Structure 1
Amino acid sequence: MQAVKITEHGDTDVIEYGEYPDPEVGRDEVLVDVKAAALNHLDIWTRRGLPTLDLEMPHIPGSDGAGVVAEVGEDVTRFEEGDHVALSAGVGDLRMDDPTLDPRYHIIGEHVPGIHAEYAAINEDNLIPVPEHVDWTIAGSSCLVFQTAWRMLIDRADLEAGETVLVLGASGGVGHAALQIADYAGAEVYATGSSEEKLEYAKEHGADHVCNYEEEDFAKWVRSETDGRGVDVVVEHVGAPTWRDSIKSLAKGGRLVTCGGTGGGNPETDIPRIFWNQLEIIGSTMATPEQVDDVMELVWDGTFEPAIREELPMSESARAHEIIENREGFGKVVVRPDSEL
């Protein structure tokens, strides 16, 4: 089969698209004929390399994708040939109340081979059914960011109707999902972006107030917009460049919920402000199977919709990585096997 391959950690020149051995289907695995997949910042970090990441090379990336079941292992009970499925990439012990807290928790595409290929053999527990009316572009690009944003806001931050939420980078993957979820939950939504086009998109998808962070200090803007109070919740996934201002943006008793640090993972922080204002700093990773089911039902019925920046053949994956790294446009970048185009 043809697959996207990272040959070593580095810049985009380490990405290749070419022949790779066909996957062998285990007893509890499903062979997925991939129709569409998508990139996340996770793919950028995986390609660049992380201190805790020790991968066998070449590595197939990809934590988002969808396709048709081509074959099932003999112990598979949930799917049969011809079913439409999408990947839910978090792997944890399903006997736990919250598998994301399993010490061995890992992510398909980051820690083990992913789905950016013509075919992928995936454990049936990491697949979710996709209704046949759902377009492959939506099916292949939604799961990671919508499950992440849903858990952040609904479970970890315990967002309530009438509260105020600041979404940073509202045109990015997690950001544009968080916008829609916060609006759905009945919150008043504040959002940041780096261009008027991105801010217009944010307003169309749930933002009540918008700020161009390239032209204005967003923490001061939040304080001005809220008569000095601040917001109840900040959705933070940027890290070092925004961390201190995110904390400044919170009201007394507010909650900052974070799922990553695309701009840097070791920010300076403001401890006196945290304890004096009795703030909560909350970490969040992926979602439980039940949370995935809850949010994806709202994607499948059209309540939530992923924005698509661009669709490219998998052979142009290096360009897809550049689009994410350079923050071009808004939403997800979708890649399809060249054989599907």
Structure 2
Amino acid sequence: MFAVYAAEPNADAPLDSLTVGERPDPEVPEGWVKVKVTAASLNMHDLWTLRGVGIKPEQFPMILGCDGAGTLEDGTEVVLHSIIGDPTWSGDETLDPKRTLLTEKHQGAMADFIVVPARNAVPKPEGITPSQAAVMGTAWLTAYRMLFTKSGLQPGQTMLVQGASGGVSTALVQLGRAAGMTVWVTGRTEEKRNLAEKLGAHAVFESGARLPGKVDAVFESVGEATWKHSMRALRPGGVIVCCGSTSGPNPGADLQRLFFLQLSVIGSTMGTRQELADLLSFVANAGISPEIGLELPLEQATEGFRAMLDGDTAGKIVFTH
């Protein structure tokens, strides 16, 4: 079958190990299902896989793509839930110590077919296209959990999204606006800030700018470059929800502000199958159109990977069949 895969780890030149070509058709273990992929989206995780981060050398070659949408053999349209957990685990699968993501141990979605446990094929609601569904499983699911499960925000409260154009950030803007939050966003460039406004932000600011007031929650995926600003932006008793640290993992903690103003810092990673199902229903019912910055046929995947590596896109990158 046709696939886009990492031939081997390459820490210094990840695109050198990106391969577009043929791979064997997958076998279907008991309790798993075969999905004919119609669309798959690109995540930073795929670049980390190409670099050999979070994956053992013996796992290569590895088909890329955490996220995707497709059809079962009976024609049912489904969205992939990318967390593969221990079958004996009960409860929140994001806390399962044996959990793994697609492309870490199991082959990914950038191929004609993928096999996943039956529970990881979540029915796609009407009103969402395959390309839109393909962006839901990582960035949008992460944003949904941050906002609705972790933050404690109520409609009408004010949220600040640090960084305007990434997949999680654009999802937070669109979800927050649809849920009735007042959405503020920071961005490094005018182009990125304009995108946030187009997606529904009520106000946009340059990175690190003094804000007109304090916010109830800050959504962080940047880390060191924005952390001090995030701490200063919060009202007493406010919360930072953090899902990543793209600019560095060692921010100045500002502990005096943390305890004196009784701030909360909450970590958040991915989401559960139920949260994905709820996200899909919310997006369909609210008529949200996820921001897709670049859509290409799978055969042109190298162009999409290069755009992500160079930071040339706003919104998600999707490959279609």
The verdict on a shared fold, with TM-score over 0.5 as the criterion, is: yes
Q: Which residue of 2 aligns with 1:112?
A: 106
Q: Percent identity?
A: 38
Q: 1:153 aligns with which of 118, 125, 147?
A: 147
| Equivalent in the alignment of 1:83 | 76
Measure the CA separation in 2 of the matches of 1:53 and 1:267.
26
Cα pair distance change 1:18/1:286, threshold 3 Å: same
CA change 1:123–1:161 in 2 (3 A) is same
> Which 5+ residue runs of structure 1 have no aligned equivalent?
71-80
Shift of 1:7: 1.7
- 1:48 pairs with 28, 47, 51, which one? 51
Structure 1 residue 37 displacement after superposition: 0.5
1:32 aligned to 32, 35, 42, which one? 35
102-111 or 15-24: which moved more? 102-111
Amino acid paired to 2:175: I
**Separation in 2, partners of 1:320, 1:44:** 11
When structure 1 is superposed on structure 2, of 103-112 and 161-170 the one drifting more is 103-112
Given the two structures, how large is their TM-score scaled by the length of structure 2?
Answer: 0.92
CA contact (8 A) 1:143 1:296 kept: no
- Aligned ranges 1:266-281 → 2 under 5 Å: 266-281=250-265
1:321 aligns with 2:305: yes
| CA displacement, residues 291-324 of structure 1 (integer Å, 9 cap, x when unaligned) | 2111111223453221111112323323212222
Say how many residue pairs are matched.
Answer: 316
- Does the Cα contact within 8 Å between 1:239 and 1:263 map onto a contact in 2? yes
Instruction: Output one character per residue of 1:139-163: Cα deviation in whole Å (capped at 9) or x when no partner.
Output: 2222322211111011111111222
Distance 1:106 1:235, change over 3 A: same
2:92 is the alignment partner of 1:92? no
Could you tell me which amino acid in structure 2 is paired with residue 279 of structure 1? L
Residue 199 and residue 144 in structure 1: after superposition, are their counterparts in 2 closer, same or farther (change >3 A)? Answer: same
**Local SS of the residue matching 1:23:** coil
Report the more deviating stretch, 130-139 or 248-257: 130-139
Task: Indicate the residue corresponding to 2:217 in structure 1.
Answer: 233
Q: In 2, distance between residues paired with 1:233 and 1:93?
A: 33
CA distance in 1, matches of 2:41, 2:198: 23
* Counterpart position of 1:176: 170
Following superposition, the deviation at residue 35 of structure 1 comes to 0.9
User: Post-superposition, which runs of at least 4 consecutive aligned residues in structure 1 deviate over 4 A?
Assistant: none
> Cα deviations across residues 173-224 of structure 1 (Å, max 9, x unaligned)?
01011112222232211101233332222123221110132xxx23xx22xx
Q: Distance in 2 between matches of 1:54 and 1:247?
A: 37
Counterpart of 2:197?
Answer: 203
Are residues 1:62 and 2:56 paired? no
1:135 to 88, 109, 129: 129
What secondary structure, in the 3-state scheme, does the structure 2 residue paired with 1:192 have? strand
Residue 246 of structure 2 is matched in structure 1 by 262
Q: Is the 8 A contact 2:6 2:49 kept in 1?
A: no
Contact 1:84 1:132 in 2 (8 A): no
2:288 counterpart of 1:304: yes
**In the alignment, structure 1 residue 5 sits paired with structure 2 residue 8:** no
Alpha-carbon contact 1:311-1:335 (below 8 Å) kept: yes
Distance (whole Å) between structure 2 residues aligned to residue 249 and residue 318 of structure 1 = 39
Task: Name the aligned partner's letter for residue 108 of structure 1.
Answer: L
**Quick one: distance in 2 between partners of 1:43 and 1:332?**
13
- State how far apart, in whole Å, the 2-side matches of 1:115 and 1:233 are: 34
For the Cα contact (< 8 Å) 2:40–2:134, is it kept in 1? Answer: yes
Unaligned runs of 5+ residues in structure 2 are none
Instruction: Establish whether residue 164 from structure 1 lines up as the match of residue 158 from structure 2.
Output: yes
Secondary structure of the 1:86 match is: strand
1:43/1:110 contact within 8 Å kept = no
C-alpha RMSD over aligned residues = 1.9
| CA–CA separation in structure 1 for the residues paired with 2:144 and 2:7 | 34
Contact residue 159 and residue 185 of structure 1 kept, 8 A:
no
Shift, 1:235, TM fit: 0.6
Cα distance in 2 between the residues matched to 1:162 and 1:135? 30
